[in-house]
Amino acid sequence: MTLSSPPVPPLGAPRDGSWDGPPPLPRPGPAVCEQPLAEHPGVRAGLATAAGRFGLLTVGDVLAHIPVRYEDYEAAVPVARLVPGREQTARARLQSIRVQRTRRRGLRLVRARLRDDTGLLEAVWFNQDWLARSLSEGDELMVRGKVSAGSPPSMSVKAHEVVEGGGGVHTEGLVPVYPGGEALPPRRVRDLAVAVARSAPCAIETLPAELRAERGLPSVADALSALHFPRHRGDVSAGRRRMAFEELLVLQLALMVLQRREASRRAAPRLAGGTSLRELVRMALPFTLTAGQEEAIADIAADLEEPRPMRRLLQGEVGSGKTIVAALAICQAAEADWQSAVLVPTEVLAQQHTRTLDELLAPAGIRPVLITGGIAAAERERRLLEVSTGTAPVVVGTQALLSEGVDFPRLGLVIVDEQHRFGVAQRQTLAEQVAALGGAGEAAHLLYMTATPIPRTLALTAFGDLRVSAIRGRPPGRRAVETRWVREDEREEAYAFTRAQIRDGRQAFVICPRVDEGDDDEGGRSAVAEAERLAEGPFADLSVGLAHGGLRGDDKRGAMERFAAGETDVLVATTVVEVGIDVPNATVMIIEDADRFGLAQLHQLRGRVGRGEHPGLCVVFGEPATDDGERRLEALTQTGDGFELAELDLEIRGEGSILGRRQAGRGDLHFARLGRDTKALNDAHAAAAEILERDPELDAAEHELLGRAVEARFDDLTRAIEA
């Protein structure tokens, strides 16, 4: 298929074949794409101002602001001829509109009465209150959705358009729907796209002609035209594929070059020597290491023996055995007479790691030193002296260790646990801090660990500056946690089961999405109110504790420690317990308003129970108002495979920020979607490796523009790091 055949009529052009094509194109070049919308002759001043508030400042911004979907408005059916049970399109005039609240928490309906020459239709939208403010009596609408019988018949509206006369944007055929908001509705974005349509060729062609020919990709101008003004869905697919491939190729090249530059810029200590300490630890283990653990151990051991800094991510679910892998890496550093540091996000997790490492490393005679803010001044000074004299082989603490004047004379390995929320920029900043602490002028090796499984697509992008090792599955003997989605009328049954578990000596978590009642206007149970309600009602005869981020550090830590010690039967908390608390005796996890959490987060939370000899149960309460919410909860009950859930979570939430910290949504990618473009990403990854193999500096003539795009990506990264 070719996209360069007859020019595509813009929306609003005559449909009778009389359109003669666009006005003469401006001379292609970056200056056109960088032209401010306020200076574009086809954009009204008010529209340019509204677009600017929305972040669309230039012609190029509009060209990159592609539709989120395309609505196919077939010929409208008169209201009197609408057939119940079918999805159809109707064209009618608005008579009235109102917002109706329902008994279902978080659900609101917008009801409108529409009329055409043949009859009356009731249109219904879900949770779109703004429509009542933006639509006016007398507006003519195209509405599409499933029709239900009644008097009058009703339609659950899937999509709608305001029909405008006098040369306005058309509302028939394949209509692009752009990301927008109340201040800049999607149809106004479409007006912008029409206004700047002739500027599409200003986009610079970065892909070499040979590369495009090999993969059957259209030019950038044809691809953008197809995305904004498609004649059929084949145009959309071809245009999106081309733009997604280019974006992912540039990103892969940038990350590969970044990884190579980082490795070549500094030397690292070669942590090679005997294996005596590792063998002592292995022989004392009461279990056999899994194949996944052995593979990860081998990957890390090989990296540590190289004279360049290791930058590796070790991922595996809760209980998969990442800590023993890290312990053996610490032994390897100690065998070469280098120190290790273990950085964790909280003091509670630091204490937990210290206890675990103390037990694992004891056969090798390695004693971890804990340094946190809660240690008395005299004892802290004594431990700091151990570190500075090199007699402390491994130090555990929060990331504050890097900035509190801790002196490491021979820091060879840094392990960063549960920092999967770091973007590329934050990892580069951390690498700079670690390099500054490295002993003998060498940069320490860096190992990141996370219990949040990462989809392959995300691993190649958000973690493309790292090598990745994955431990899949659970160790022998660790059982899956049963998960039940419980409806409100079954709540007392869930409480009865929990009380029975506690009578048998077990414990339970109750997780709430908010700290206090006044946190937001969206509803949902708060930890403070729920702890009080449970202590006075269902669990009145039990000990109920409370932990949340609003508490002082000592109070929060004390609540968790009392629960871990078995002094508290039920711990009501926010997601502060997602990581850093290990209570083998806890067997019940109750999650309130579970539809308000991400799928990966829900999986992490349920991993807090069933960690001992008794099976765990996760009970989720929630009444999702969206299809995505239902998909999350259904998936949680159907599989305990964190990697499978991670793929679905990525598909639902979006990839978030790759360079920075944002965890969901549109993120840094304009055209590609990691949950959808797996094939394009794998292709781009392979192509990037081939290009750098032939042209490591990207200075060949055919790669000149591609090299500029990669450098621009580095500029993005630099700004993110500096921010």
CATH, residue 629: 3.40.50.300
Residue 3 lies in a domain: no
Tell me which residue of 452, 515, 494, 480 sits closest to 622, measured CA to CA.
Answer: 494
Residue 365 lies in a domain: yes
Same domain, 339 and 437: yes
- Per-residue pLDDT, 426: 64
Q: Collapsing DSSP states into helix, strand and coil, what is residue 447?
A: strand
Same domain, 586 and 535: yes
Contact partners, residue 168, CB within 8 Å, separation at least 6: 12
Query: What CATH number has the domain bearing residue 160?
Result: 2.40.50.140
Q: Which of 471, 503, 532 is the last residue of a domain?
A: 471
Burial of 721 (0-12, 13-18, 19+ CB in 10 A): middle
Residue 2 lies in a domain: no
- Per-residue pLDDT, 653: 63
Same domain, 604 and 494: yes
Same domain, 340 and 434: yes
Task: With beta carbons less than 8 A apart as the criterion, state whether 265 and 274 touch.
Answer: no
Same domain, 282 and 406: yes
Q: Rg of the chain over CA atoms, in angstroms? A: 29
Same domain, 342 and 444: yes
- Per-residue pLDDT, 422: 57
For residue 27, what are its two tokens?
């001379």
Residue 104 lies in a domain: yes
Tell me which residue of 449, 417, 441, 425 sits closest to 307, measured CA to CA.
Answer: 441
Structural domain range at position 129: 76-171
- Per-residue pLDDT, 612: 83
Same domain, 515 and 599: yes
Residue 681 lies in a domain: no
Same domain, 287 and 402: yes
Same domain, 444 and 487: no
AA letter at 655: E
CA angle 43, 45, 46 (to 5 degrees): 110
Same domain, 516 and 593: yes
Q: Which of 620, 639, 658 is the last residue of a domain?
A: 639
Same domain, 366 and 466: yes
| pLDDT mean for each 10 residues of the chain (723 residues) | 31 36 34 77 87 87 85 80 90 91 74 94 88 87 90 89 54 73 79 75 81 91 87 88 91 82 76 89 90 94 92 82 93 94 84 91 95 85 90 88 78 81 64 64 84 67 74 71 90 94 95 76 78 94 91 83 92 81 90 87 87 90 82 86 74 56 52 78 90 90 87 62 44
For residue 70, what are its two tokens?
């395309």
Task: With beta carbons less than 8 A apart as the criterion, state whether 587 and 614 touch.
Answer: yes
DSSP codes, 114-163: EEETTEEEEEEEES-TTHHHH--TT-EEEEEEEEE-SSS-EEEEEEEEE-
Residue 294 lies in a domain: yes
For CA atoms 99, 50, 68, 162, give the dihedral sign. Answer: positive
Task: With beta carbons less than 8 A apart as the criterion, state whether 396 and 350 touch.
Answer: yes
* Number of domains observed in the structure of the chain: 3
CA separation for the pair 437, 307 (Å, rounded)? 17
Residue 492 lies in a domain: yes
Q: Which of 445, 471, 497 is the last residue of a domain?
A: 471
Residue 367 lies in a domain: yes
Same domain, 597 and 634: yes
List the beta bridge partners of residue 280.
none
